[in-house]
C-alpha cells in the first residue's frame, strides 16, 4: 500500500454548511494536500556557564553576576565533519520547504498527496546521508572533546559530553491530522462545528500565505534579473548576469506550476509573462546581444512593476489558536 492509499480521505460532505461553500482554492488545498511535519534531534553545542563561573567572570569588572549572561561553546562547529552534518540538515530543510506549501501552524507545511511517495523516498535518502555524516563525525568525537578541553580551560566539564553520539543527531517526519476529529461530531456537535470553522479558516489563511510566498520569491527573482540586465544593482554596484540566474528562474517556474493551488489569476499571468520573456534565451545571449537584452529587460520590467502591487505584507489574521511548544528533544526545522 502506498502512502497516498493510506491517507484518510477528506469527507466530501463533512457538514451541510461546508458542502454549500462554493468551489475555491482553499477547498482544493484541503482536498489535495497532506500536512507534513519535519523535526530534528540535534545536540546543543552551547551550555550556560555555572553560577560560580559567572561570579568569577563578574569579579574583574566589579559587576553583579546576575547581570551577566554567558555560555560556552562545547565543540568546534567549523570542523569539516560537523559542517558536513550541518549542510545535510540544511539540505533536508530546503527540500521540505521547496516541495511543500506554508500552513499557519508552527512546524507544519502542506504537501501534494500525489508527491508523497517521492517525498518519502527522498527524505529517506537524506536521512541515510545524515546517518553517514554522524558516523563520520563520531570518528572525530574524541578529537573534538580534547580540542574543547584545551580551548575552554577551567570551563571544560566532561559531563557536558555524552559518551557517544548515538541518538544525538536525527531527523524525523510525520503527517499530523489538521482536520477536526470525527468522534467530536457525536460527542459535541457544537464544538465540532467550531473546530470545522477553525480548520476552514486555517486553509483560507494557507492559500494567502502561499500566494504571498510565491509573489515575494518571484519578485526577488525578477528584480535580480532586471538588475543583471541593467548591469547595476539599485545601489549602483555592478552586477553580471550569470547562467545560474536563468537556471534558478526556470526552477522557480517549474516549482510554481507543480505546487500551485490558488485563484490568483494575476500572479499566474505574470509568471506566464516572465516565462515567455526568457523562454529559449541563455545568459550568454543576453550578455552579447544588445537587442535581445533590451527586449527581455522591457518585458521583465513590466512584470516587476505589476508585481509590486502583489507583494504587500499583510498582518496575519488572528484566527488561530496557539499551538503547544515542541518537545525539548526535537528541533522543528522552521524554528530559528
Encode pLDDT of 242-271 as tens digits. 888 888 899 999 999 999 876 667 889 999
Could you tell me if 172 and 187 lie in one domain?
Answer: no
CB distance 88 to 129 below 8 Å: yes
158 and 199 fall within a common domain: no
CA distance 34 to 115: 10
Residues 223 and 290 in one domain: yes
Residues 174 and 187 reside in one and the same domain: no
Cα dihedral 119, 125, 126, 127 in deg (nearest 10): 100
Q: What is the pLDDT of residues 29-40, one digit of tens each?
A: 999 999 999 999
Say yes or no: 187 and 173 in one domain. no
Domain that holds residue 288: 183-310
The answer to whether position 265 is within a domain reads yes
Burial group, residue 110, by CB count within 10 angstroms (0-12, 13-18, 19+): buried
Binned at pLDDT 50, 70 and 90, residue 62 comes out as confident
Where would I find the H helices in the chain?
3-6, 16-19, 25-32, 51-58, 80-98, 116-138, 141-152, 183-187, 189-230, 243-259, 265-278, 283-288, 290-310
Q: Give the model confidence (pLDDT) of 88-114 as tens digits.
A: 999 999 999 999 999 999 999 999 999
Number of domains in the chain: 2
Percent of the chain at pLDDT > 70 equals 83
Q: Largest alpha-carbon pair distance within the chain?
A: 72
Which pLDDT does position 263 carry in this prediction? 61
pLDDT at residue 307 tops 60: yes
Q: Which of 133, 149, 178 is the last residue of a domain?
A: 178
The pTM of the full predicted model, rounded to 2 decimals, is 0.78
Question: Is a pLDDT exceeding 70 seen at residue 16?
Answer: no
Instruction: Say whether both 270 and 148 belong to one domain.
Output: no
Of 143, 178, 213, the domain-final residue: 178
Q: Round to whole Å and give the CA distance between 47 and 189.
A: 49
Residues 141 and 264 occupy one common structural domain: no
Q: Are residues 38 and 58 in the same domain?
A: yes
Rounded to whole angstroms, how far apart are CA atoms 317 and 89?
A: 31
**Which residue do the cell numbers 468551489 mark?**
23
Q: Is there a domain that residue 275 lies in?
A: yes
Mean pLDDT of 309-317: 58
DSSP state of 234: T
Q: What is the pLDDT of residue 330?
A: 47
What was the pLDDT predicted at 312?
Answer: 62
Same domain, 116 and 224: no
Amino acid at each position: 500500500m502506498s502512502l497516498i492509499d493510506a491517507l484518510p480521505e477528506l469527507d466530501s460532505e463533512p457538514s451541510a454548511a461546508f458542502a454549500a461553500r462554493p468551489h475555491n482554492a482553499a477547498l482544493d488545498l484541503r482536498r489535495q494536500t497532506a500536512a507534513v511535519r519535519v523535526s530534528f534531534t540535534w545536540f546543543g553545542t552551547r551550555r550556560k556557564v555555572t553560577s560560580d563561573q559567572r561570579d568569577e567572570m563578574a569579579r574583574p569588572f566589579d559587576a553583579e553576576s546576575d547581570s551577566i549572561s554567558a555560555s560556552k561553546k562545547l565543540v568546534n562547529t567549523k570542523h569539516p565533519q560537523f559542517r558536513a552534518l550541518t549542510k545535510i540538515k540544511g539540505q533536508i530543510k530546503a527540500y521540505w520547504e521547496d516541495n511543500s506549501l506554508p500552513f499557519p501552524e508552527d512546524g507544519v507545511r502542506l504537501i501534494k498527496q500525489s508527491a508523497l511517495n517521492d517525498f518519502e523516498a527522498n527524505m529517506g535518502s537524506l536521512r541515510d546521508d545524515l546517518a553517514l555524516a554522524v558516523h563520520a563525525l563520531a570518528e572525530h568525537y574524541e578529537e573534538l572533546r580534547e580540542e574543547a578541553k584545551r580551548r575552554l580551560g577551567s570551563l571544560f566539564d566532561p559531563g557536558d559530553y555524552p559518551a557517544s553520539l548515538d541518538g544525538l543527531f536525527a531527523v524525523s517526519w510525520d503527517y499530523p491530522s489538521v482536520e477536526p476529529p470525527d468522534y467530536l461530531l457525536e460527542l459535541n456537535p457544537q464544538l465540532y462545528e467550531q473546530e470545522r470553522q477553525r480548520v476552514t479558516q486555517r486553509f483560507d489563511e494557507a492559500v494567502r500565505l502561499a500566494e504571498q510566498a510565491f509573489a515575494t520569491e518571484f519578485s526577488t527573482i525578477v528584480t535580480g534579473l532586471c538588475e543583471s540586465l541593467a548591469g547595476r544593482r539599485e545601489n549602483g554596484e555592478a552586477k553580471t548576469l550569470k547562467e545560474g540566474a536563468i537556471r534558478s528562474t526556470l526552477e522557480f517556474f517549474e516549482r510554481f506550476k507543480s505546487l500551485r493551488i490558488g485563484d490568483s489569476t494575476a500572479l499566474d499571468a505574470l509568471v506566464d509573462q516572465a516565462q515567455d520573456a526568457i523562454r529559449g534565451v541563455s545568459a550568454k545571449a543576453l550578455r552579447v546581444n544588445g537587442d535581445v537584452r533590451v527586449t527581455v529587460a522591457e518585458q521583465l520590467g513590466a512584470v516587476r512593476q505589476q508585481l509590486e502591487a502583489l507583494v504587500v505584507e499583510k498582518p496575519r489574521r488572528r484566527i488561530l489558536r496557539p499551538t503547544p511548544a515542541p518537545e525539548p528533544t526535537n528541533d522543528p526545522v522552521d524554528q530559528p
